[in-house]
Each structure stands twice: as C-alpha cells, then as structure tokens.
Homo-oligomer: A and B are copies of this chain.
Amino acid sequence: MLDKKYLLPHDALKLILAQIVPGCLPVEIIPIEKAYGRVTAEDIISPEDLPGFERSTVDGFAVKASDTFGAKESSPSYLNVKGDIPMGAIPNFSLSKGETASIATGGMLPEGADAVVMIEHVNVISKDLIEVLKAVSPGENVIFRDEDAKKGEVVIKAGHRLKPQDIGALAGVGITAVKVFKQPVVSIILTGDEIIPHTEKVTPGKVRDVNSFTLAGLIYESGAIPLKMGIIKDEYNALKETAEKAYQLSDIVLITGGTSAGVKDLTAKVIDELGCPGVLFHGASIKPGKPVIGAACNGKPVFGLPGHPVAVYICFELFVKPVIHHMLAVTDKNFKKLIKAKISRSIHSQAGREDFIRVCLDSRDGEIWATPLLSKSGLIMSLVKAEGIVHIPSQLLGLSEGEEVLVEIID
C-alpha cells in the first residue's frame, strides 16, 4: 500500500528551501575568541604571509644544503659555526659556503641558509666546528616563508562553521575579528490544553512540557538560538497572536503540539495567515512525524511539529536543521556518524514511507547488533535510551532479522 497522499521528507524539504534565500541572515563582525562554531559570511583572505620568514622545524644547525651533499657517518662534512640564533630574534649574520649556525625549532634561518641538519645528525667538535653526518636537501627541516598561508590567499571559505583549528589559523595570520552570519533565532510555541510548565505539579489529564527542552538543545546544537514563547491554549485568537509575535521576533517559527482533532487545521490556518505562500505541505510520508506542517511565510520558515516527543526530534533533524544550515549558507560537507550493525529483529515498514527506528546497540560475538526500541513515539524515554536511528527508505517494506543496517549515532 503506497502512501501516495504525502511527499517524502526530502521532497517536502525542497519546497521550503526553494522559498528561503541561502545566507539570508544579517551579518556581524565579532572577535575570533567568540567565533567558535559560527559560520563565516565571506571568504577570509590572509592579510600577510605565514610565516613571514623561513623557520626551522627542528633543533639543529642551519646550513647551505649543498655543503652537506655526500655527507655520511664515514665521511662527514665539516662546517664552521658562525654563531647561535636565539629564538624570536633576527640573525645578525649570514652564512657563506662552509658556514653553519645553531638554531632551535621555530628559529629564523639566517640569510644564505636553505636547510637545517637535525642535532642528532651532527657531531659538535668544538664551539667553532661541527661534523655533519647526514646530507640534507634544500628546504629540509624548514618551513618556507608563506608556506603556511600566502598573503591574499583564501584561508577560510564563506559558509564554513569555524572549528578550533580555524580560529587558530586566523590568529596566526593576525585576524582579530571575523564576519559571520548572526545566529538565527528559532521561536518555540507550545500548544495544547493539557501541557503545563515543567515546574508545576501534574494533575490527572495534564502533562509537563517536554518538547521545548528537547527543541532548545537541538536548536543550540544546530548553531541557532532558541526563544521560548510559552504554552498557548488550543484556541485561534491566542495562537494567532503568539504566532504573529514569534514571527516578528524570530527567524524561524516552530509551533509544536496542536495535534488534537480540529486543532491541526487551526495551526495550519494560523501559519497560512502569517505570509505567502504559507503552508507548503501538511503531512509527510514519514514515521514518526507524519502530521508535520512545513511553511514559508514571506521568506521566513514556519513549522508545525507534531506533539509526540520522538516525532519532534525526527522532524527537527529532517526539516528544521537543514533549514537552519540553508539560512546560514553552510557549504561544509555533512558527514553523519554512522556505524554498520545487524538488526536484531524483523521490522515491517510501508512502501512509500520513510521510517526512523530508534535502536540500542550491543556487541555479540564481535558483531554489533541494533535492537529496535519499538515503543510509541509519545514516549520520551525511548529517545533517551536510543543510541542510534535506523532509517528505512521508502522503497523497502521493512527489514529482516540479521540484515545489515546503517545506524546513525545519536550524540
């Protein structure tokens, strides 16, 4: 039985992405110390050569490589020691043929030198004379001027999420501040007459807010900033007022819950009224998460997420996170943390629908097995216990016990 009514998630996502201009967020210039994890808004050009001079990569003796050609233990080359190069200083002499100078790792090569012999390959005869026991070729044990980065060269591309070593490199070329996209603000509206704040005592019929806490963490991890708009009654005026406020205050609006009969259409109606073109899909061919609503309102993405905690998680990963990265114009390759495992029991799926199965992992006889947590998508603990997600593509009717699967690790 094909589920023909709804789009597959990647097709549904495309409808939204087509409405959102990549890199549509404002930019800001921030000190590099604050830029870890932020996304560059422009190519970053090196303002100078790194290093600005030739440096030794070892402790040893700076030489003209040609003076060492043919040197070996049995017939060393003899060189006159012209001096010592202190760290961080400019050598106040140059080397002529047959001359050398002691140098430490990171030290600046004197003029005339083009290589460094490691201390281990030298016999110090006196303070004026050494034996070189091993030949070096020109450039050996040397970092050339501009070998790390050249003036004018792009050191970091636009659309790159800055890693620790990227910030290190920026510091190295003397860049103190960097132009990045502002982090998008993602507002969270909770709907449902049964939802109460987590600080309140539950009474029969009521449940505490779980989703705003899960969503806030997922939003942080995606490089955005959560904005909690509170819990709203399943009522048109209240929802409309809060949705309009959220739309003004944030770059992406998430409305969760509102899954009770009739209220689904209320959420879609309110979203539709926020802007054009409005709702792009209402429902997608996924499990869990089928009732998801995706919309773009005057260039701003708006989602209606189902209230089940597991569906919220899956819909965030499938729709909201890619939209955040699209708005930040991220160009980095997206590698997932995947491991191969065998599925420990058969699972039925439905053709035309993509299923996302929570699994736990364990090792048996040197093999990794994935055990499905077949509990309801309303159970948050099943997501807490899950170590990974197995994706069953739409063309499959399920998985057979013992079949090899790729598990995406949750962490």
Chain A residues engaging chain B, CB cutoff 8 angstroms: 32-33, 36, 48, 50-53, 55, 57, 59, 86-90, 102, 104-108, 119, 143, 147-149, 155-156, 161, 163-174, 176, 192-195, 198-199, 201-218, 220-221, 234, 257, 259-261, 263, 307-309, 313, 332-333, 335-339, 361, 375-381, 383-384, 387, 409-411
Contacts and interface: CB of A to CB of B under 8 A. Distances in A.
Contact of A216 (B50, B104, B164): B164
Task: List the number of copies, as a whole number.
Answer: 2
A214 B260 contact: no
Contacts of A217: 36, 163-165, 167-168
A119 B261 CA distance: 9
Given A155-B384, A171-B208, A210-B172, A202 B52 contact: yes
B51 A213 contact: no
17 contacts: A32-B198, A36-B217, A51-B202, A59-B259, A88-B193, A105-B260, A148-B381, A163-B384, A163-B411, A168-B214, A168-B217, A168-B309, A169-B380, A169-B381, A169-B383, A172-B309, A338-B339
Given A33-B216, A169-B384, A307-B105, A174 B192 contact: no
Given A164-B221, A204-B52, A104 B57 contact: no
A166, A336, A339, A375: most-surrounded residue (chain B CB, <10 A): A166
A193 B339 contact: no
A260 B207 contact: no
A87 B232 CA distance: 13
Given A33-B213, A148-B379, A164-B216, A207 B172 contact: yes
A133 to B, nearest CB: 17
A260 B107 contact: yes
B313 A87 contact: no
Contact of A164 (B52, B194, B213): B213
Contacts of A387: 333
Contacts of A260: 59, 87, 104-107
A410 B104 CA distance: 31
Contacts of A172: 198, 207-208, 210, 309, 380
A76 B283 CA distance: 29
A227 B226 CA distance: 28
A162 B140 CA distance: 48
A165 B309 contact: yes
Given A171-B208, A335-B339, A381-B148, A87 B192 contact: yes
A208 B172 CA distance: 5
A151 to B, nearest CB: 12
